[in-house]
Amino acid sequence: MERITSETQIQLSLSLHGTGKAEIDTGCGFLNHMLTLFARHGCFDLSVYCKGDTEVDFHHTTEDIAICLGQAFREAMGEKRGIVRYGSILLPMDEALVLCAADLSGRGGFYGELAIPTEKVGTFDTELCEEFFIAFAREAGVTLHLRQIAGKNSHHIIEACFKAAGRSLKAALAVDQANPDAIPSTKGVL
């Protein structure tokens, strides 16, 4: 995937059934860390290069990467034949506990309840965590729920979100051994 705007220039490649290998250069150290965790816990091979208007802030970089990643997911999933479709996890990260559930429904939407206590982690605006998942879910056509059950450390809460999303998506993309050729919907299409 490639996205070039007046705010960002992005090259992104994705393999859904990889080993968790990540080559990430977004211009934002914290976002690099989160995308690396997402790839590792989802067993996705992910390469992201972004040159963005980081002198403004990381909003455009974060949202545009999520748009590209969502589009890459949608394309890579194809018709979704033989997948489980649903995945969920309750993921602890030290004192933080996050519930994530994913449905590869084709109807993208993010539904989150996160109470991140600080405005920043390093130079990253914590409100961008939700912005990332909103753009990703919309573009991927994934229904994604994230609920913070516990947590006081902003870094831990956001890290739990990215790890949980990776693991939930991995579970949803798994092959349904009982129905390896079926579209997992009574409609016959997702």
User: pLDDT digit string (tens) for 145-157?
Assistant: 999 999 999 999 9
List of residues 6+ apart from 44 with CB closer than 8 A: 14, 15, 16, 18, 20, 38, 166, 169, 170
Q: Position of tokens 């690396």?
A: 36
Span 130-148, mean pLDDT? 98
User: pLDDT digit string (tens) for 83-112?
Assistant: 999 999 999 999 999 999 999 999 999 999
Contact 42, 94 (CB under 8 A): no
Average pLDDT, the chain: 97
Contact 134, 10 (CB under 8 A): no
pLDDT at 74: 98
Helix (H, G, I), strand (E, B) or coil at 71: helix
Confidence class of residue 36 from pLDDT cuts 50, 70 and 90?
Answer: very high
pLDDT at 126: 98
* Element (DSSP H or E) covering residue 145: strand 143-150
Span 158-168, mean pLDDT? 98
User: pLDDT digit string (tens) for 54-83?
Assistant: 999 999 999 999 999 999 999 999 999 999
The domain spans of the chain are: 2-173
pLDDT at 9: 98
pLDDT at 6: 97
Fold that domain 2-173 belongs to in CATH: Ribosomal Protein S5; domain 2 (3.30.230)
